[in-house]
Chain A
Amino acid sequence: MAKVLRKVEMNQGRTSSSDLATDFGISDDRSLELFLKTLPGVDQVGVEARAAELATRSIKKESKSWAIDMAISMVDLTTLEGADTEGKVRSLCNKAHRPDPTDLGVPHVGAVCVYNDMVGIARSHLDAIGAKEIPVAAVSTAFPSGRASMEVKLRDTRDAIEAGASEIDMVIDRGAFLSGYYKSVFDEIVAIKKECGGRAHLKVILETGELVTYDNVRRASYLAMIAGADFIKTSTGKVTPAATAPVVLIMLQAVRDFFDRTGIQIGVKPAGGIRTSKDAIKQLVLVNEIAGPEWLNPRYFRIGASALLNDLLMQRMKMRDGYYASSNYVSVE
C-alpha cells in the first residue's frame, strides 16, 4: 500500500514567492543560476525508456470509463486561431458545458481557453448558458512568442483578468532562458503572478519544444514553480514537439519532488499533440505513476486540446454501446 501522503491545503491564490525563493536560497541572478545548475541531470535514454514502458499500460473496462470521464473533465477546450470569431467561441462554450447534448452524464470540461479578446465573450456566454463553474483561461503575455515589453505583457494579463479570465496561461521568455538570463525569466513570472493576485490562477508555459533538452525542462519547471506558478504547462501548441510523454514525465517528477520539499502542490498541463483518447489515457497513467493519484483531478492536471474532446466522446459512446462510434454523431465546433 502506498503510504498516504500528507494532505495539504491547495495553493490557489499563492501570492508571494519571495519566501519560497528565500527557502531555496535564491536572492539574485547568481544564486538562481547556481540552484538550477545543481539540480540532478536527466538521462535522455533512461527517461524515454521509462515513458515508453508506462505507455504499455493497458487500461480496460471500468478503469477506462473512469479515465475517459476524468480526461474530459481535465480538458482545457481551446481555440487559438487568428480566424476565431464570436460565433466559434460561443459554440466552443456550449461544447464545454455539454460535450454530448444527448448524454447529460458527460462531465463538463476543465476550462475554455481562448485569446484575450475573446475572454469577455466566452465568460458572458458561459454565464448565460448556466456554466458559471467553467473557468475561462486566457493566453496572455504576448502569446505565443512572448516577444513584447514587460509593460505590454502586464497590460495583456490585466485585460484578460478584467474581462473575466480566472486562469492566465503565460509564456516564458525562452530566448532569455536559453541565453542564461534565468533571473529575468524568473522576475517576469513573479510580476505576472503579482498581477494575477488572488484573482487568477497562473499557468506558466515553458514551451519545451524550444527548450529542447530534458535538463532544461527540469530547470525551467523549478524556476517557474519557485517564481509562483500554480501550474506548469508544456507548450503553446504552436511549436512541435509539444507534450511528449518524457517531457510530461519530467514535469510530473518535478511537481512531485517540489511537493515533497515544500508541501506546495503545483499542477501540470500538457498541451499540443494530445488528440486521441489513447494519448489522454497515457497521460493519466503518467500522472498516476509519477506524480501520484493526488494529481488525478482537474485541479492539478489539465490537458490543453481541441480535437481530443470528440475522440473522448466517441470512445465513451463505444464503451456505452459496444460498437465503434461515428464522427457523424459528435458535434464539430
Chain B
Amino acid sequence: MTENVNPFAYAPAPESRELVSIESSYDLFINGKFVAPKSKKRFVTINPATEEVLSKISLGGKDDLDLAVKAARRAYESVWSKLPGKERGKYLYRIARLMQERAREFAVLETLDNGKPIRETRDTDIPLAIQHFFYHAGWADKLEFAGNGANPRAHGVVGQIIPWNFPLLMLAWKVAPALATGNTVVLKPAETTSLTALLFAQICIDAELPPGVVNIVTGDGSTGASLVAHNGVDKFAFTGSTEVGKAINRSLASSGKPVTLELGGKGANIVFEDAAIDQAVEGIVQGIFFNQGHVCCAGSRLLVQENIHDHLIEKLERRIEKIRVGDPMDKNTDLGAINSKEQLQKIIELTQSGEIEGAKAWQPDCALPSRGFWFRPTIFTNVTGAHRIAREEIFGPVLSVLTFRTPQEAIEKANNTPYGLAAGVWSEKGSRLLWASRELKAGVIWANTYNKFDAASPFGGYKESGWGREGGRHGLLPYLTHSSTPRVKPSKGVRK
C-alpha cells in the first residue's frame, strides 16, 4: 500500500494450499455415508477471491431431505436418545480433537471457499468452532444443571440452516449444542460455502459417530425451504437474514414447532469522549472490517460524541490506511474478498444510495486484485438517522458515522432500529459503561471491546434480530424440553 515511501512492504506470505485436497464433486452426507443426490442436480462452488471453480456441490431436493430426516429420526430413536450423556459427550470430545488435529486444513479450506483471510480462519473461526464442540461435550452429561428442570429432554430431529459468513463456526454453533442435548441433526450449509461442512462430515465418520446423528444436505434456497417445510423435523434453528427468518417463522407458525432465529443487525458502536481512543479505533476497525463486515453483529453504525469526532475520524482513517486488502491466503491480509457477486452488488447499491442521500464517503487508496469480488473499506461521515446506510444492514466493510451530544442522545439513536443484536460502548468510566449497557436494547453488549465470541457466552438478539441464544448455558435451553414425554410424536413408518 505504501510502496513509494516504505521499503518494508511485506513480501507475499501465502499459506500452503497443499494442506487441502478438494474433490471434483461432493455428494450429500446422509446416514453416515456420502450418497449421490436423488435430485441428480449439482452446482459449482467458487473461490470468491479468484472466481476459480473449486468443486461441484450436490443440490439436495425433497427426496434427499426425506432420507436425511428419516436417518436422523432412526438414529435418534435407536441410538442417540438411548446413549447416556456421558458417552454422547465422548463423541463430541472426539470430534473436537479430530478438528484440532486438522485445524489448519479447515482454515485453508474455509479461506478458499469463503474468501475471508487465512489469519481469521486460522485464529478465529476454526479455534472457536472447536471450542464449541469441546465446551458442549462437557454439557452432555450435566444437562440436569442447565436450568431446564431435573429431567430435560431433547426435541428429537433438529433442522438447521446456516449462513455463509462463518461457515464452519455457524455449523459448530448449531450442531454442538444440538448433539450435546441429545438431538439428531439435518443441517443445510449455505449455498456458496459448503466445503468445510463436507469436511466436517468426514470428521463425523472418523469419530465413528453413529450414522444418522448428523446429516448434511447441501443445496440452495429451495433445499432450505424444503427442510423448513418438512414435517419430520421437531425443532428448527436458523441463522441468516431477518427477511428469510421471518418467512421461516411464518411458514412454521401453524405447526407450533420451537424455532431459534439468529438474524440481522445494525449494531451501534458508541464512543464517548473519555474513551481510550487508540483502542476505540481498533475496536471500530474490528467491529466493521472483521470478516469483510459480513457479520450480523457488526458495529456498522459508529456513534461518536461530537467533541471528539474530527480527531477520532482522523485517527480512524490513518488506521484504515494500514489495512491490507487482498489475497485471503496471504498471512498478512486483513481484509479478504466479498463472498459473492450478489453480495458485492448489494454493497455497491447501498453505498451508492449513501452518496446520493448526501453522506460523505472516504476510502483508502489501496489496490484491489483484478479478479474476484472486492470492496474497499469505506467510511461514511455526515450520516443521519434517516439515511438508508444508517438503517439497512449492508453486510460489508462499510461504516456509517453519526454523532451525538449527550449520553441519552447516544442511546436514543442507538436503539432507533428494528434490530437489536449487538452494540459496543467505549468509555474509561465504568459506571457509564454499565449504564449504557443497561439502556441499550441489544442481546450482546461489548464494553471497550467488539466482536468477541466464546462458546461459554450466550449470543443472540433482541427485537427483529431473532430469538433464542447460542452458546453458554442459555444456548442449551432451546434444544431442551422439560416435559416428560417427547414433544413431537415420531412420524409414521419409522422403525422403533
- Chain A interface residues toward B at CB < 8 A: 1-5, 40-43, 45-47, 49-50, 56-64, 66-67, 70, 253, 284, 288-289, 293-294, 296
Contacts and interface: CB of A to CB of B under 8 A. Distances in A.
9 contacts: A2-B5, A2-B6, A3-B321, A40-B276, A46-B283, A61-B11, A293-B2, A293-B5, A296-B7
A58 B332 contact: yes
B13 A59 contact: yes
Nearest to B8: A288
Nearest to B286: A49
A66 B277 CA distance: 33
Contacts of B251: none
Interface in B353-375: 364-366
Which of A60, A61, A284 has the largest number of chain B CB atoms within 10 A?
A60
B279 interface: yes
B46 to A, nearest CB: 26
Nearest to A289: B322
Contact of A57 (B6, B7, B332): B332
B275 interface: yes
Contacts of B1: 1-2
Contacts of B277: 40
A63 B7 CA distance: 8
Contact of B8 (A1, A42, A284): A284
B282 A50 contact: yes
A47 B365 contact: no
Contacts of B279: 42-43, 46-47, 50
What secondary structure prevails in chain A residues at the interface with B? Answer: helix
A66 B7 contact: yes
A45 B123 CA distance: 17
Contacts of A66: 7-8
Contacts of A1: 1-2, 4, 364-366
B98 to A, nearest CB: 25
B148 to A, nearest CB: 34
B448 A43 contact: yes
A106 to B, nearest CB: 18
Contacts of A289: 322
Given A43-B448, A46-B282, A58 B8 contact: no
B428 A41 contact: yes
Contact of A64 (B11, B321, B366, B449): B11
Interface residues of B, number: 32
Interface string B1-19: 1101111111111000000
Contacts of A58: 10, 13, 331-332
B275 A46 contact: no
Nearest to A294: B5
A289 B282 CA distance: 13
A63 B6 contact: no
B13 A60 contact: yes
B278 interface: yes
A5 B318 CA distance: 11
A47 B448 CA distance: 11
A61 B11 CA distance: 7
Contact of B11 (A49, A63, A294): A63
Contacts of B278: 40, 42, 46-47, 253
A3 B10 CA distance: 18
A111 B313 CA distance: 39
Nearest to B278: A253
B449 A46 contact: yes
Nearest to A62: B11
B10 A57 contact: yes
Given A46-B449, A49-B282, A296 B6 contact: yes
Contacts of B2: 1-2, 293
Give me the 7 closest cross-chain CB pairs, A-B, nearest first.
A46-B279, A293-B6, A58-B13, A58-B331, A43-B279, A43-B276, A63-B11
Contacts of A57: 10, 331-332
A70 B8 CA distance: 10
Interface in B455-469: none
Nearest to A67: B8
B119 interface: yes
A63 B9 contact: yes
A65 B2 CA distance: 18
A40 B275 contact: yes
B5 A4 contact: yes
A11 B162 CA distance: 58
Which of B8, B9, B13, B366 has the largest number of chain A CB atoms within 10 A?
B8
B119 A59 contact: no
Interface in B271-302: 274-279, 282-283
A56 B123 contact: yes
B321 A2 contact: yes
Which of B274, B275, B276, B428 has the largest number of chain A CB atoms within 10 A?
B276
A45 B448 contact: yes
B10 A63 contact: yes
B351 to A, nearest CB: 21
Given A41-B428, A57-B332, A296 B276 contact: no
Which of B275, B279, B282 has the largest number of chain A CB atoms within 10 A?
B279
B258 to A, nearest CB: 37
B65 to A, nearest CB: 42
B480 to A, nearest CB: 34
Given A56-B123, A59-B13, A253-B278, 7 more contacts: A3-B321, A41-B428, A46-B276, A56-B119, A61-B11, A63-B11, A293-B6
A67 B279 CA distance: 27
Given A2-B321, A46-B282, A50-B279, A59 B123 contact: no
A59 B276 CA distance: 30
Which of B6, B7, B282, B322 has the largest number of chain A CB atoms within 10 A?
B7
A277 B173 CA distance: 40
Contacts of A284: 8
Interface string B324-347: 000000011000000000000000
B47 to A, nearest CB: 21
A288 to B, nearest CB: 5
Nearest to A57: B332
Nearest to B285: A50
Contacts of A253: 278
Contacts of A43: 276, 279, 428, 448
Interface string B174-205: 00000000000000000000000000000000
